[in-house]
Amino acid sequence: MSESLSRNLGIAALGIGSDRTPSGDEAEHGGLSPLGDDGSPTAALESTAAIKPGDAGPSCTGVTLRPAVADDEAFLYELYCSTRAEEIAAFGWDRAQRDAFLQLQFRGVQRHYQVQQLDVDSRIIVQGTDAIGQLIVMRSANEIRLADVALLPQYRGSGIGSGLIGDLFVEARESRRPVTLHVEKSSRAVALYERLGFQKIDETGFHYKMEWRPEGVER
């Protein structure tokens, strides 16, 4: 979910996915999380692979989640850069310019989550003993907000995102809360989220707010 250079500079103080955000087989693409127009991070998801209805189910892909800690910062920066590589390359900058811009954006994202009033659950996705991605979920009494999901490039498209989204669906059913996210209107992720059962419920500027609501739970 890449943005123009001018819009990226506009959120330098700050989120998915670029690919970001929660996703199906390809929720895994990335982790750019520019702020939505309502101040919430944009969920990350984008992929070229098809997601079929029902793909998202409880995670069975051999990954675990652990809390993110201060020592994860170097990994998280590497992960963040991997989600922006293609986009930043189009700007034609030299390495110093790219590094300065990415550091600014990354620090802004970190600060954004630190000042949230909602419960921010930041997890590292682990396969075996290796950190391979990040999942950020923000919870309140009324919703489970998928704020960001990102995987390193070599782990994208393997069904990990589908399992993680499916786990959120299970939590949503048990707690009778909807799963929500924000995604750029121009992103291919919109169609993928719709295939997973998310519906557009609002729009603000460049973003849609989307929601997956358990059966029997009224708005």
Stated as kind and residue range, the H or E segment containing 164 is helix 160-175
pLDDT of 129 reads 93
Candidates 3.30.460.20, 3.50.50.60, 3.40.630.30, 3.40.190.10; CATH matching 5-212: 3.40.630.30
| Domain boundaries along the sequence of the chain | 5-212
Query: Above pLDDT 90, what percent of the chain?
Result: 50
Which residues, 6+ apart, have CB-to-CB distance to 79 below 8 Å?
Answer: 31, 133, 134, 150, 151, 152
Instruction: Provide the pLDDT for residue 61.
Output: 60
Of 73 and 86, more confident: 73
Write phi, then psi, for 61 (nearest 5 degrees).
Answer: -100, 15
Average of per-residue pLDDT across 140-156 = 93
**End-to-end CA, the chain:** 28
Q: pLDDT tens digits, residue range 166-176?
A: 899 999 999 99
